[in-house]
Amino acid sequence: EVQLVESGGGFVKPGESLRLSCAASGINLANAWVSWIRQAPGKGLEWVGRSRRMSDGGAIEYAASVKGRFFISRDESQNSLKLQMDSLKDEDTAMYYCVTGSFWGQGTLVIVSS
C-alpha cells in the first residue's frame, strides 16, 4: 500500500523559514514525479511545484507565487521529498500536500502570522 506522510508544518512569523518533508512507503519516490499542492483555509487547490524523476531529467518547476522562495529537493536515502520554504508570507498559510500519481498524503499545516 502506498503511503505519503508529510511533516514539518507549524506556526511561524512572516519572513521565517520552514522545511517540510514527505516520506513515502510502498513506492520508490526516485522513480516518481512528485508534486507539492497546497490549500489555504476554506480555499481551493494550488499547485506549488514538482520534481521530475532523475530518469526524466530531474527538473524542478515552481509556481510563480513561490519561485525564488521555495525549493524542492529529494533525499533518496530516506525515500522522501523536501520542501524548503523561505521568506514565508501570510498568504503561504495552507495545508501542504505531497502528491504522486493518484496518491495524496494527509497534509501538514503551515500557519504564517505575526
Partner 1 sequence: DVVMTQSPLSLPVTLGQPASISCRSSQSLVHSDGNTYLYWFQQRPGQPPRRLIYQVSNRDSGVPDRFSGSGSGTDFTLKISRVEAEDVGIYYCMQATHWPPWAFGQGTKVEIK
Binder of partner 1 out of 62, 69, 71, 111 (CB under 8 A)? 62
With binding defined as CB under 8 A, does residue 57 bind partner 1? no
Q: Regarding beta strands 60-62 and 45-51, do their DSSP bridges make them parallel or antiparallel, or are they unpaired?
A: antiparallel
Q: Count of residues binding partner 1 (CB under 8 A)? A: 18
Select from 15-23, 42-50, 71-79, 82-90 the region that touches partner 1 (CB under 8 A).
42-50
What phi-psi label fits residue 68: left (phi over 0), alpha (psi between -120 and 50 degrees) or beta? left
Type and span of the H or E element at 25: strand 18-25
Q: Which of residues 82-101 bind partner 1 (CB under 8 A)?
A: 95, 97
